[in-house]
Structure 1
Amino acid sequence: MFKAKRVLALAAALMMCGTTAACGESGNTGDTSGGNDGAKTKLVFWNGSYKTVDDTGVIATEDLIFNKTIEEFEKANNCEIEVVDQTADNLYTLFRSAGVAKNGPDIAFLWAGGYTNDYRDFIEPLDSYFTEEELAEFPNLDLCRAEFKPDGALLGIPTDVTTVNLFYNKDAFEKAGLPRDAHFETIDELKDACAKLSDAGITPFAMIDGNGYASAWNVGAAAATLYGPEGIFDLLPGNEDLSGEKFTKAVTEWVEFGKEIVENGWANEDWLTTTAEDVFMPLYTGESAMRFGGSWDCGNLYNELGDSVGTMALPCYNTSDEYAEYIVGQIANNLVVTNYSKNKQLAVDFIKACTTEDFYLQRYEQEGQLPGKVNIDMSAVDGVNPLLADCYALFSENKNVIGYDSITSADAGAESYRQIPQMIAGKISIEEGLKLIQEKNVAVGATETEE
């Protein structure tokens, strides 16, 4: 269980927020009025990830960290926070239309990178609300800045970080004569393992790529080793052509490997088209051995396999690549304040309440999300999921590169999800697919004609 002293510290932090928040303004929805008459100010929060209901039945609803934080903050600030859960399918379309009409939320939970930058016309710059010392606790803040520039306006504050990983069933590995604590440095080593697993009657991969995510993770890992942490920004909308030499190489390396997976029967036959979660069942029984994913999968995998599941970073294609030791590790999501909110300071104070070390650690314990701050002592949580500990250790090595699809425009990222599996299936050439992706990589406010 989470240490009680941290719960008390969180409550104290929320009380401190209450002494600085201005609650005298009216909410942007017009549903409440402020002033000195004691009426409650209303904040509207568009939620894209925080748990408000525990679907496992283990944690009482009122004990979920997000719900506890809301309750404490409302009491300390004489305000009301209305949480509106949004799905990824609807969030960004609604956020844009609400921004134009200026009738949306005060605070929103957005994917970091292109999915925040593309909507910066509706987002309040946050630099003036935070001290340098406060911001120094967060990693990779360039991803949260306008146009990803070091001096760009700060658009969001990180909620969590992620790593891209290869997960494996240790029992299946042992059956195939592979070590239970396996680590593959290169793709060639991974291919050798696939051959051994196949010879032992074990399907090497359980995979889903009908949504293009497995392809995106693998291309991202290959791109990381070619571009490095600074060079990856060459893929900004309006910058380097996505059909250029480096990105073409990254895509080609994965597509060629993907074709080998198909030809050798190293994965379920429908992996390029399916999104069905039951594809992963053979991984739990040992009939399949590996899957691609990320730190966000650690909770489910450990619940299914316990100490029989292991993880590692995705292997590189060439150890001679300049950034061969780098991985895809980055801020996954951030909290933003709308520039039309009538209670900006109060909204920022709530973001600060949701980004304390105590909040991060309790969310880590309850939801399996890696903290959005660096150098947090994970030993403060008892019974840490070892997979999550491994992921945070990988991230803490500070050899992280942002995934390409967080740098490109949101439309270009989505197009890559569609086209790369088609390249593996031979339905479109790499050259043709990259051209379609590049056509979508248009800077905000620009048109394809201008490109």
Structure 2
Amino acid sequence: MMIKGRIGKAISIICAGALVFAVSGYATSASAAPKKVTLKVWDPGLMGHLKDGALDTKNSFIYKAKMAYEKLNPYVTIDISEIDGGVSDTQFKAASIAKNGPDIKIGFAGGNTLSFAAFLEPLDKYFTKTELALIKGTGTVRQGYDPTGPLLAMPYGAGSYFYVFYDKRVMAANNIDMTNPPKTWEAFIALAKKLKSAGVETPIWETNLEGYTGAWVIASLVGGQLGPNAFYDMYTGKTKIDSAAMVKAYEGYQKLYTSGITNADATTAGQGDRLNGFLAGKGAMIIDGGWDNDPIFKALGANAGTFAIPQLSGSKYPKILAGGTNVAVSVTKYSKNKAEAIKFLKYLMQAKTIDTYVKITQTEPSNHVNADSSVIVNPLLKLQAKDVAKNPQVYPFDNIMPGPTNDLFYKLNASVALGQTTPADAVKQLQASLNENK
């Protein structure tokens, strides 16, 4: 649930390429005659992609994986259903209560997976400690975010991270050296002000009607102060949402909209205009996620620059990245083909299979220790992958918290930007919501 708008972005990105799937250990003996099995897989548009408004089964990762696996295992048929993201949770819950849902559920990591714990098969017993050690991000899908809690899914891909993208041509035209991008939030705001003084009408193009920018900025600024476990600790009660760190982060975030450095309609323009407006040249910079690496590079090429959202001055974790695994693959408790579902899941978790996922989408790095970084061709993603490899990460607030708290979070982000809610009041409301909905 990192971004509600992410589904629309994720399903629009296609990067066809050569396909290499790991095949060891899954071919069936020619002498065996196993019973034919049909595995039902539900995907809310996270692994099945659209092209020109239609499902692209030729280039979508999950369909490539289906064909490769079925070729190796002729007795298995993988039946994929693309469930509308807006109703997928409701459909899955209803089907699971009736025990006639899918064998495998593809969904969001974090709170979205944990909310269906009652219907998901714990996976620890199916993977050795050595196998699990090869996969990064398992903490995002353990029940209660407890390191020893049941593993409810396997995280898929390293996810997207929140970055500032900029047009190098605008910076060069205004004699701004971006060899060393801003290292603090305050320096970032100062850079935008410098562009404004130089005559750039809109230093930062913003579309925050839904409050999504707030989700990305708050994740970064709080993570910088409290570290990788910032929001896990808020969820478990180890620290409080209504803390000084959250207030300080909201105060820094609010300056985006009170410093005269964004477009006049920044708080009323919608998410759908974010990328298009930036690519149309409406602003010198944009705050966005790695899911837009592909269209930004295709539009700007070598003129596209990027750097991670910087932290507040004095932060304990000045290089922390906000983001993380966004997709998770689960097996249902009631699956009538559980053994085969686990085999397919293990196939998906091989390093070469995840490499194919990365190669096709070009939106996020692999979360496998033995990933092949050469499959990344987008230079923006290459830079981000290097950042992910060397810097700590914080899993965002809205990946972790319950749905009602996240809904309030987005609304408050928009309200704080408008000046209708103070930072202190916002965090108090969020704390009350978590207390009520946990």
Whether contact under 8 Å (2:137, 2:155) holds in the other structure is no
How much has 1:247 moved relative to structure 2? 2.2
TM-align CA RMSD? 2.7
1:327 equivalent in alignment to 2:312 = no
C-alpha deviations, 1:188-246, integer Å up to 9, x for none?
Answer: 21122112221333211122212221110000001111221234321115554322333
The answer to which of 160-169 and 275-284 deviates more is: 275-284
**TM superposition shift of 1:112:** 1.0
Distance 1:331 1:244, change over 3 A: same
For the pair 1:17 / 2:26, whether they are aligned, the reply is yes
* TM-score computed with the length of structure 1 as normaliser: 0.85
Task: State the shift of 1:55 in Å.
Answer: 1.4
Do the aligned residues in 2 keep the contact of 1:223 with 1:250 (CA within 8 Å)?
A: yes
Q: How does 1:215-254 map to 2 (within 5 A)?
A: 215-236=214-235, 240-254=239-253
Unaligned runs of 5+ in 1: 24-35
Give 1:36-185 correspondences, 5 Å limit. Answer: 40-52=36-48, 55=51, 61-62=57-58, 64-75=60-71, 76-161=73-158, 162-185=160-183
Instruction: Give distance in 1, aligned partners of 2:46 and 2:425.
Output: 39
Aligned residue pairs: how many?
417
Q: 1:414 aligned to 2:407? A: yes
The 3 A distance-change label for structure 1 pair 403 and 306 is same
1:369 to 339, 350, 363: 363
Give me the whole-angstrom Cα distance separating, in 2, the residues matched to 1:276 and 1:405.
Answer: 17
Identity over aligned pairs, percent: 26
Unaligned runs of 5+ in 2: 1-14
Q: Measure the CA separation in 1 of the matches of 2:391 and 2:126.
A: 27
Match of 1:425 in 2: 418
Change (3 A) 1:197 1:281: farther
Instruction: Look up the equivalent residue of 2:307 and give its one-letter code.
Output: M
1:206·1:282 contact (CA, 8 Å) conserved in 2?
Answer: yes
Q: 1:283 to 1:182 in 2, by over 3 A?
A: farther
Residue 250 of structure 1 aligns with an amino acid whose one-letter code is A
Deviations, residues 5-54 of structure 1 (Å, cap 9, x unaligned): x72xx2523xx23549xx9xxxxxxxxxxxx7x66322111113445456
* Secondary structure of 2:164's aligned partner: strand
Tell me how far 1:170 sits from its aligned partner: 0.7
Aligned partner of 2:26: which letter? C
Q: Is the 8 A contact 2:48 2:82 kept in 1?
A: no
**Distance in 1 of aligned mates of 2:16 and 2:279:** 29
* Deviation of 1:333 (Å): 1.4
Q: 2:278 matched to 1:283?
A: yes
Which residue does the alignment assign to 1:28? none
Aligned to 1:33: none
Which shifted more, 97-106 or 123-132?
Answer: 97-106
Deviation digits for residues 73-130 of structure 1, max 9, x if unmatched?
2341512222111233212222222222222111111111111112211111000111
1:343 positional shift: 1.4
CA contact (8 A) 2:171 2:178 kept: yes
Distance 1:241 1:2 in 2: 45
Conserved 8 A contact 1:113-1:144: yes
Further displaced range: 43-52 or 278-287: 278-287
Partner of 1:26: none
Q: Distance in 2 between matches of 1:95 and 1:235?
A: 28
Alignment CA distance shift 1:86-1:268 (3 Å) = farther
Q: Secondary structure at the match of 1:42?
A: strand
Label 1:283 to 1:64 Cα distance change in 2 as closer, same or farther (>3 A).
Answer: closer
Deviations 1:374-396 (CA, angstroms, capped at 9, x unpaired): 352312x2x71000101111110
The match for 2:209 is 210
Q: Which amino acid aligns with 1:45?
A: V
1-side partners of 2:268 and 2:336: how far apart? 46
Residue identity matched to 1:198: K
3-state SS of paired residue (1:154): coil
Name the counterpart of 2:4: none
Specify the SS of the correspondent of 1:441: helix
Aligned residue identity for 1:302 = F
- How many angstroms does 1:315 deviate by? 0.9
Match of residue 334 from structure 2? 340
* Residues 125 and 155 in structure 1, CA contact (< 8 A), matched pair in contact too: yes
TM-score (norm 2): 0.87
Q: Does 1:297 align with 2:292?
A: yes
CA distance in 2, matches of 1:385, 1:308: 13
Secondary structure in 1 matching 2:326: strand
**Cα distance per residue 1:313-349 (max 9 Å; x no partner):** 111112x222222121421111111111111221122
Counterpart contact for 1:169–1:289, Cα < 8 Å:
yes
Give a deviation string over 1:157-213, Cα, whole Å, max 9, x none.
111222111111111111122124441101221122112221333211122212221
How many Å apart are 1:296 and its aligned residue? 1.1
SS at match of 1:288: coil
Aligned CA distance change for structure 1 residues 377 and 275 (closer, same or farther; 3 Å)? same
Distance 1:54 1:99, change over 3 A: closer
> For residues 128 and 214 of structure 1, what CA distance do their matches in structure 2 show?
39
Question: Which residue is equivalent to 1:198?
Answer: 196
Mapped to 2, the partners of 1:173 and 1:120 lie a distance apart of 49
Letter of the structure 2 residue corresponding to residue 220 of structure 1? A
Q: Tell me, in whole angstroms, the C-alpha distance in 2 between the residues paired with 1:399 and 1:166.
A: 18
CA shift for structure 1 position 253: 2.4
Letter in 1 for 2:340: L
Which whole-Å CA distance do the structure 2 matches of 1:431 and 1:53 have between them? Answer: 41
Contact 1:107 1:347 in 2 (8 A): yes
